[in-house]
Each structure stands twice: as C-alpha cells, then as structure tokens.
Chain A
Amino acid sequence: MLEYLSIVFTFQSLITILIGTVAGVAIGGMPGLTATMAVGLLVPFTYTMDPTAGLMLLGGIYCGAMYGGSIPAILLNTPGTPAAVATAIEGYPMSRQGRGGLALKVSVIASFCGGTFSAFVLLMFAPFLARQALAFGPAETFLLALMGLAGIISIADENTSLIKALIAGVLGMVIAIIGTDDMSGSLRYTMGLVELVDGIDFMPALIGLFSMIQMLELAGQRQHRIDTSALEVKQKSEPLPPGIAKPIALGSGTGTVIGILPGEGATIAAFISYNISKRISKMKELFGKGNPEGIAAAEAGNNGCVGGSLVPTITLGIPGNSVAAALMGAFIIHGMIPGPDLFTEYADRTYPFILSLFVANGVFLIVGLAFAPYLARIALVPPALMVPVVSAFAVLGSYALNNSVFDVYLMIAFALGGLVLKKLGYSLEALILGLILGPIAEGGFTQGMIIGHGSPLIFIESPIAKAMWGLIALLLIPPLYSYWKHVHKPRREQI
C-alpha cells in the first residue's frame, strides 16, 4: 500500500487531484451542470493522459462536484446539482437567518465524512468483491448484467413510470447490439455505415444524454432570477452544533449502501438520508426551517454515494449510477476492464485512484472551509454564456475519442432523441445503463448457451447463479412493492 501511496503523493498527482477537485466544486456549483456531465465530457480527453492521472482527475471532479452543489443551494436556494435539493431545504432558511456560515461548515464537514467513509468502504470491500468475480463464468456474467438491469426498476420515480424505465433499459441494450456480431463476425443493423461497424460507442451517447440535453433545456428556459438576497445578509460565525455527528454517520452509511446498489444515485441517497434523519431527530419541528441536521444527513448521503457507486463499477463492471458509468468509460478507454484484473494486473493504477479519493475529499474540505461563500457567485454565471461553452466542449469531447465527426452527429442525435424520451417519462439513466450492460449481457448469454449446449438451465444450475437469482429478487422486491403502493395509493384514498 505504501507503494501506491507514493504514487498519489507525487507533485504531479497532487496537482491533478487539486485541479480536478476544484474544477468539480466549481462545476457542481453551477446550476444546470452535474457531475455526470463534467466527468462524461472529460473522459475522452483523459485518453492521451497517463491513465492513473486521468482517473485521479475524474475522481477529483466526481468528489468535488458532489460537494459543490451544496454551496449555491445554501446561499442562493439554487441547488448546483439535483443531489443538493435536500440541502437547499434546510440551508437556505439558515442563510436567511444569518447562519449561512454554519450551514456551509456543516455541509463541507458532512460531505468530507461521507466521502471519506465511502472511499474507505471502497478500499476495503472492492478487492474482496473482485476476488469473488474470479469464480464467475459466462452464465454468472449474464446474471450480473441482469442484476445491474434490476437496478433500472429502482430508477423509476414519480417522473418515470416503471414500464417506461424498463423499456428505456432494453432500448439501450437494443442500441448496443448494433455493429459486428461476435459469434459470427457478421454485421448487424449498421445500415451500410462504416462508422457503425464497431458499434455505438457509449461516450457520445453519454455526452448527448447527460450534457447536451441539459444545454438544450437551459437554452429553451425562460430567464429566471436567482435570489441573491442571502448573500447580502451578514453571516455570523458559529461552532458546530452538538449531536451533529449522528446525522453525519447516518448519512455516510446510508449514502454508501445506496451508492452500491446499481441504478441508485446521489439524489436518492441524499433524500433518503434526509428523511431518516428527520424521522429520528429530536428537533423534528425545525426541519424545513433551517435545521443543520438535515444538511448534515443529506450532504453525507450524497457524498457517501461516491465511493459506494464505484464498488460495483470497478469490481463487477456494473455502474452504481450515471457518474460511475462515465468513470467506467474512462477505465475502459485505458484498457482497464472492470473486474479482478483491476486489483492484480492494474493494481498500480486502481489503488492510487482509490487513494486519491481520500485526498480529493481533503482538498474540498480545505477549499470549502476557506472559500465557500465566494464560490457561491459561480452560480451567477449567465446560462447564455454557459450553454455555448459547454456545448463546444460536448462537441470536442464527442469528437476527440475516435477523431470522428460521426460521433458528434451521434451525440446530437442522442441529445434530441433523449430529450423527447425524457419529456415522455422515459429514464435516461436506464437507457445508458442498458447501453453499457448490453454487451456484457450478450457476451454472457451467448457463451453460456454454447457451454450449456443450447440449454438455458446453465443460468440456474451453479450455486453462485442461484445466489445471484436470490440477490436479483432482493433488488426487485422493495422497489416493486413501493411502486405497487404508489400506484394503488389514490385508489385507497378514494375509498
């Protein structure tokens, strides 16, 4: 481990982490820009970098952006990222009361604790899980992809119906079959386009679905004024309130566990942590009026998601959420296929990357404590300037990976098509998950069928396969139950 630490504590690595984290905080602080967008945009550019440095840069952005969203949420009532919405509920009233300094302090400390705890879980748990993956054959690999797809069901929320989330996931898998068939070597659904022979790269899709769509939405938004009144209120300096450790610990644990579950994101982690904290708090009546416990739970929750989401991503190749999916793209373009190899053959890259997350958490802790009130002004950058700049980077990022203008067209097509699907209630996270897991599922399925001489029994015979079916059922039951409750609620209420 000392050897890996020495890689992290070189001047070049520390500067890379610093740049990534500060950029992440700034991006997270701009409403409309998210961690997925930033990581997705930058993945192609890390292609020419040293792989370890590239991953550290992206890891820093991920950590920084998760925290950065809380700053404008607290001071301007404008969450920088969707994961900071719960923080705004408590943070902004505190700022109006002149207690914004305390809110910012609680936010950065909770984010640090959540992020550090989840990075520790990643460091301890990931190698163990990756070792188990050595026992996986094609059938288990197929089931693993199914397990990832089971996460699609939990993506469904009030904006996306359960069936539509599943359709989006399968649509992603259908898009993934375009290109050369590995079994026969023949071309499938390429429409005579040479650019589709190798299939559709998921990076242009990711940039289109998560970066460009946001720009199209921002461009089409009516101008709205951000309330800057809290910036003029004199903020007093206060010590941390007693008992704040409890919601931080709760948020850290909840966020990490939720992050590990495929498909669950930081927004859900923040809200679940916030709600649990509200339920068990001795000061329930203060929630919604400016309770630091709510900020602590929500921020520890969304930052806890960072390390958690990377556990299934780098061990099993199942991204925990959309940011992890983008990061997985970075691993893949550097030839590091998620799985046990990352902890053996590529250990000198993977462990420094994990260790760099601890440093990134330390960096945003210092940046947050020292500069948070000033960073809130980033949120005031007008969308009319942000949109062309981010769009230019989206075009550049789509092009740079394969030096292909076709990928730029693909990115625009995904953005437009994705926007229509989003407005109709389809989940774009499910679509990208399907696109990533599709080839894994197909590889496992086809090889499993060959080994099983055409019999599907191979997918249920081994003890691991049986355990995985059990896990899939466990993943499906809670969201299906809550969906059932959600669907039947109005009827019961009418009765």
Chain B
Amino acid sequence: MSRKWVDRAVLALFIGMAVLLYASTASYPGIAKTTSANYVRFLAVFIGGLSAVQLGYSLLKDRSTDPLRLTGHLPRFLGLLAALAGFAVLFEPLGFFVSAGIFIPLVARMLGYRRKRVIFLTTAGVLIFVWLVFIKLLGVHLPGITF
C-alpha cells in the first residue's frame, strides 16, 4: 500500500476521532461540563484541525507513489510480533522463566542465529541474571514458578 494513502487514512482516522471526542463532551456530568469538557474540546479541535490541514496539504501537494515499508524483512518482523504476543499470553500461566526460556532461543533462531551453544548460554545467562537481580536482590514478584 502506498505511504501517501496510509497517511491519509491515518489522518482521516484522527479527524473522525476528533469529531467523536468533541461530541462525547456533551455527556460530561456536573462540574466537568465547564472544566474537563472544555479541555477535551480544545484537544479535539486542535487535533482535528491540524489533521484536516495536513490532509488538505497531502491531497493538494503529495504526488509521491512510494510504498509504506514497515520493515525490510516481513517474515522476521511478523515472527517477532507473533512471538511477543505468545510470550505475553504465556507469561502468567507459565511464568517468566519458562516463557522466556522458550521465547529467547525461538526468536534468536528465527532471526537467523545458528550457534546453539551461544543461544543456550545467552538464555541461561538472562534467566540467571533475572533470578539473581530481580527476584533475589530487588524482590520483584514474577508470576509462575518461584525458586
């Protein structure tokens, strides 16, 4: 998708958000009607106005056709996102140590690192570091198995 069109879509989204934000202030209760509501209206007008100006500028002047490139390597980018989501989902049921023990080697392999011994030592090093510093020294509570 072209960068220009994504940009315009995002600006249109901001304008829509500004309209909804402004409209929502009508239902503010009590004292908020004359205080918080005014502040929110100010923000809505500001972001809506600026987005409209930028959108107008883009429609009139922007003739570029370059695509929006979020990443140079889509499979790795999406793979990291998926692994992060998986890490977050597993974080509470499995705990930090088990989920990080899966996450770190998996992502390292996915990103093309092949030296198993280094991956193992790095993962073990991180887990030992977290256990020593965060659990033992700082007393941070982490979900899952405790040692």
- Determine if B76 and A219 form an interchain contact, defined as CB atoms under 8 angstroms apart: yes
- Determine if A183 and B134 form an interchain contact, defined as CB atoms under 8 angstroms apart: no
The reply to whether the CB of A48 lies closer than 8 angstroms to some CB of chain B is: yes
- Determine if B54 and A164 form an interchain contact, defined as CB atoms under 8 angstroms apart: yes
- Determine if B77 and A219 form an interchain contact, defined as CB atoms under 8 angstroms apart: yes
Dominant SS among interface residues on chain B: helix
CB closest residue in chain A, given B73: A220
The reply to whether the CB of A454 lies closer than 8 angstroms to some CB of chain B is: yes
Tally chain B residues at the interface, Cβ within 8 Å: 71
The reply to whether the CB of A385 lies closer than 8 angstroms to some CB of chain B is: yes
CB closest residue in chain B, given A417: B10
- Determine if B72 and A221 form an interchain contact, defined as CB atoms under 8 angstroms apart: yes
- Determine if B80 and A167 form an interchain contact, defined as CB atoms under 8 angstroms apart: no
CB closest residue in chain B, given A219: B80
The reply to whether the CB of B21 lies closer than 8 angstroms to some CB of chain A is: yes
- Determine if A170 and B50 form an interchain contact, defined as CB atoms under 8 angstroms apart: yes
| Cα(A217)–Cα(B107), bound, Å | 14
Residues of B near A399 (CB, < 8 A) are: 91, 142
Residues of A near B105 (CB, < 8 A) are: 388
Specify which of B6, B53, B84, B133 is in contact with A420 (CB 8 Å cutoff). B6
- Determine if A445 and B70 form an interchain contact, defined as CB atoms under 8 angstroms apart: no
Residues of A near B10 (CB, < 8 A) are: 420-421, 424
Given A221-B73, A385-B108, CB of A167 within 8 Å of CB of B118: no
Given A48-B140, A391-B84, A392-B103, CB of A384 within 8 Å of CB of B112: yes
The reply to whether the CB of A299 lies closer than 8 angstroms to some CB of chain B is: no
Specify which of B34, B43, B50, B51 is in contact with A449 (CB 8 Å cutoff). B34
CB closest residue in chain B, given A409: B88
What is the CB-to-nearest-CB distance from A137 to chain B, in angstroms, rounded to a whole number? 15
CB closest residue in chain A, given B7: A424
The reply to whether the CB of B104 lies closer than 8 angstroms to some CB of chain A is: yes
Specify which of B47, B71, B122 is in contact with A171 (CB 8 Å cutoff). B47
Given A409-B88, A423-B70, CB of A387 within 8 Å of CB of B54: no
- Determine if A405 and B91 form an interchain contact, defined as CB atoms under 8 angstroms apart: yes
Query: Taking each of B91, B105, B119, which has the highest tally of chain A beta carbons within 10 Å of its own beta carbon?
Result: B91
- Determine if B36 and A183 form an interchain contact, defined as CB atoms under 8 angstroms apart: yes
Specify which of A222, A383, A403 is in contact with B141 (CB 8 Å cutoff). A403
The reply to whether the CB of A45 lies closer than 8 angstroms to some CB of chain B is: yes
Given A424-B6, A442-B39, CB of A395 within 8 Å of CB of B91: yes
Given A174-B43, A420-B10, A445-B38, CB of A48 within 8 Å of CB of B108: no
| Cα(A388)–Cα(B130), bound, Å | 14
- Determine if A385 and B85 form an interchain contact, defined as CB atoms under 8 angstroms apart: no
The reply to whether the CB of A133 lies closer than 8 angstroms to some CB of chain B is: no
Given A170-B47, A392-B87, A449-B35, CB of A216 within 8 Å of CB of B108: no
The reply to whether the CB of B116 lies closer than 8 angstroms to some CB of chain A is: no
- Determine if A181 and B91 form an interchain contact, defined as CB atoms under 8 angstroms apart: no
- Determine if B51 and A405 form an interchain contact, defined as CB atoms under 8 angstroms apart: no
| Cα(A170)–Cα(B54), bound, Å | 14
- Determine if A395 and B81 form an interchain contact, defined as CB atoms under 8 angstroms apart: no
| Cα(A170)–Cα(B88), bound, Å | 29
- Determine if B39 and A49 form an interchain contact, defined as CB atoms under 8 angstroms apart: no
What is the CB-to-nearest-CB distance from B2 to chain A, in angstroms, rounded to a whole number? 12
Given A170-B46, A223-B112, CB of A184 within 8 Å of CB of B29: yes
- Determine if B141 and A167 form an interchain contact, defined as CB atoms under 8 angstroms apart: no
- Determine if A184 and B32 form an interchain contact, defined as CB atoms under 8 angstroms apart: yes
- Determine if A216 and B77 form an interchain contact, defined as CB atoms under 8 angstroms apart: yes
CB closest residue in chain B, given A165: B50
The reply to whether the CB of A408 lies closer than 8 angstroms to some CB of chain B is: yes
| Cα(A392)–Cα(B107), bound, Å | 10
Specify which of B24, B30, B85 is in contact with A412 (CB 8 Å cutoff). B85
Residues of A near B133 (CB, < 8 A) are: 45
Considering the complex, which residues of chain B in the window 9-27 have a beta carbon less than 8 Å from any beta carbon of chain A? 10, 14, 17, 21, 24
- Determine if A395 and B84 form an interchain contact, defined as CB atoms under 8 angstroms apart: yes
Considering the complex, which residues of chain B in the window 46-75 have a beta carbon less than 8 Å from any beta carbon of chain A? 46-47, 50-51, 53-54, 57, 68-74
Given A395-B84, A408-B91, CB of A184 within 8 Å of CB of B138: no
CB closest residue in chain B, given A421: B10
Residues of B near A419 (CB, < 8 A) are: 70
- Starting from the known contacts A164-B54, A222-B73, A399-B142, 8 additional A-B residue pairs (CB-CB under 8 Å) come to A45-B138, A183-B30, A219-B77, A220-B74, A385-B119, A388-B104, A389-B104, A395-B84
- Chain A positions near chain B (C-beta within 8 angstroms): 45, 47-49, 161, 163-164, 166-167, 170-171, 173-174, 177, 181-184, 186, 188-189, 212, 215-217, 219-223, 382-385, 387-389, 391-392, 395-396, 399-400, 403, 405, 408-409, 412, 416, 419-421, 423-425, 441-442, 445-446, 449-450, 454
- Chain B positions near chain A (C-beta within 8 angstroms): 3, 6-7, 10, 14, 17, 21, 24, 28-32, 34-36, 38-40, 42-43, 46-47, 50-51, 53-54, 57, 68-74, 76-77, 79-81, 83-85, 87-88, 91-92, 96, 100, 103-108, 111-113, 118-119, 122, 126, 130, 133-134, 138-143
Pairs across A and B, CB under 8 Å, 30 listed? A45-B140, A163-B53, A166-B50, A167-B50, A167-B51, A170-B46, A183-B35, A186-B32, A188-B24, A189-B24, A216-B77, A216-B80, A220-B76, A220-B77, A383-B111, A384-B112, A385-B108, A388-B106, A389-B126, A391-B80, A391-B84, A392-B100, A395-B87, A396-B130, A412-B85, A423-B68, A423-B70, A445-B42, A446-B36, A449-B38
6 nearest A-B residue pairs (beta carbon): A220-B71, A388-B107, A384-B113, A384-B111, A184-B32, A446-B35
